[in-house]
Amino acid sequence: MYFLFREAITRKEDPLMFSFANDYSEGAARQVLEALIRHNDEQSVGYGLDDHCAKAADLIRNAIGRDDLDVHFIPGGTPANILAIAAALKPYEAVICAESGHINVHETGSIEATGHKILTAPGKDGKILPEEIEHLAVDRMEEHMVLPRMVFLSDATEYGTIYTKEELTKIAEVCRKYGLYLYLDGARLGSALTAEGNDLTLADIAGLTDLFYIGGTKNGAHLGEALVIRNDALKKEFRYHLKQRGSMLAKGWVMGVEFEALFTDGLYFDLAGNANRRAEELRQVFRSHGIPFLMETTTNQLFPILDNEVVKKIEKEYTVTFWERYDDTSSVIRFVCSFATKKEDIERFRKSFDAIMNER
């Protein structure tokens, strides 16, 4: 009912410590940085109308396998959500999401600030259920209640879980039935699509949703999310929204260069795959000590339930995120691996954790 989890916002970090706090601690992937250096002295057209953005959009369309898609590069996830939602809805229309949805909890009311209500349902494992959507779509009293018009979901979710093709297809069917747009927040889409158990492809997602974004910030870019619009009704004059909401950067071509690199030679999925592999190795560390998890995940986030005394010891060497209180003596802690996490980082943690557990 209530939202107890939190992201760690540590204000100082000891440089000797290692951080599993999130997947946006490090700079750009090597190939992304090299592309920035390579193109640094070129002159590009402003406001995202340059050749790099055009090329990056083509590469994304190729990766998806269809050419009827508009692609816009947006500085971050919150502005991508603001734009996708506020551009699609009329003033009295609302967006549906799980209670744990990022737009509902951790974006400081940015959707409401554009004038739109968020309707929520409990969901399961961070995922909204088709029957919850149907219920909210049906449960209306004409003009005295907002009109649901869009469903928001994230893949991977806030809990690191992923949607199966069957789940997303059923949700898409409910959306079509009730005239709801389906929008997917892909801040961690790379991790989701390369996770064990995933059976969705970029093409599936483009086909099932009306629009979605491919996250760059959390997968090797300095900044940038690629918003992909398939539904023609949502394409028109979208750049007006981009400009009005403050998300049209003068040097938009920087994001173009970064996504060009990310979608060359499969780099985007390689980086996400690395984060997932490291997370799996970390999972094994916990499993080797019989540590339970809040929920089973195969993406780059894991949520072990740890004794509070153990947590204190971990925090001497590692930055991690307190997620929620589990019981009187233990807590759920979030660990995140990134494109930049190395095998030796996990090895280092294994040693620390073994030592902590053996002390007990």
Residues 319-358 that bind a second copy (CB under 8 A): 319, 340
Nearer to a second copy, 139 or 232 (CB): 139
Query: Taking CB under 8 A as the rule, does residue 301 contact a second copy?
Result: no
Query: Taking CB under 8 A as the rule, does residue 79 contact a second copy?
Result: yes
Q: Please report how close the Cβ of residue 204 comes to a second copy at its closest, in angstroms.
A: 27
Query: Taking CB under 8 A as the rule, does residue 75 contact a second copy?
Result: yes
Q: Please report how close the Cβ of residue 329 comes to a second copy at its closest, in angstroms.
A: 21
Question: What's the burial of 194, exposed, middle or buried (CB within 10 Å: 0-12/13-18/19+)?
Answer: buried
3-state secondary structure 246-277: CCCCCCCHHHHHHHHHHCCCCHHHHHHHHHHH
What is the distance between the alpha carbons of residues 323 and 122, in angstroms, rounded to a whole number? 18
Residue of the chain from 61, 72, 241, 334 that contacts a second copy (CB under 8 A) = 241
Task: Name the segment binding a second copy (CB under 8 A); options: 106-114, 151-159, 161-169, 199-207.
Answer: 106-114
Q: Please report how close the Cβ of residue 108 comes to a second copy at its closest, in angstroms.
A: 4
Residue of the chain from 65, 66, 92, 179 that contacts a second copy (CB under 8 A) = 92
Angle in degrees, 0-180, between the axes of helices 267-287 and 343-359, rounded to the nearest 10 = 10
Residue window 133-152: x/- pattern of binding to a second copy, with contact defined by CB under 8 A: --xx--x-xxxxxxx-----
Strand 225-229 vs strand 70-74: parallel, antiparallel, or unpaired?
Answer: antiparallel
Residues 153-212 close enough to bind a second copy by CB under 8 A: none
Phi-psi region of 22 (alpha: psi -120 to 50; beta: other; left: phi over 0): beta
Please say whether the dihedral angle defined by the alpha carbons of residues 202, 208, 276 and 4, taken in this order, is positive or negative. Answer: positive
Residues 33-52 close enough to bind a second copy by CB under 8 A: 33, 36-37, 39-47, 49-51
Are the CB atoms for 316 and 171 separated by under 8 Å? no
Residue of the chain from 194, 198, 247, 297 that contacts a second copy (CB under 8 A) = 247
Strand 301-302 vs strand 330-336: parallel, antiparallel, or unpaired?
Answer: antiparallel
Nearer to a second copy, 172 or 340 (CB): 340
Query: Taking CB under 8 A as the rule, does residue 25 contact a second copy?
Result: yes
Nearer to a second copy, 77 or 208 (CB): 77
Are the CB atoms for 321 and 329 separated by under 8 Å? no
Are the CB atoms for 17 and 317 separated by under 8 Å? yes
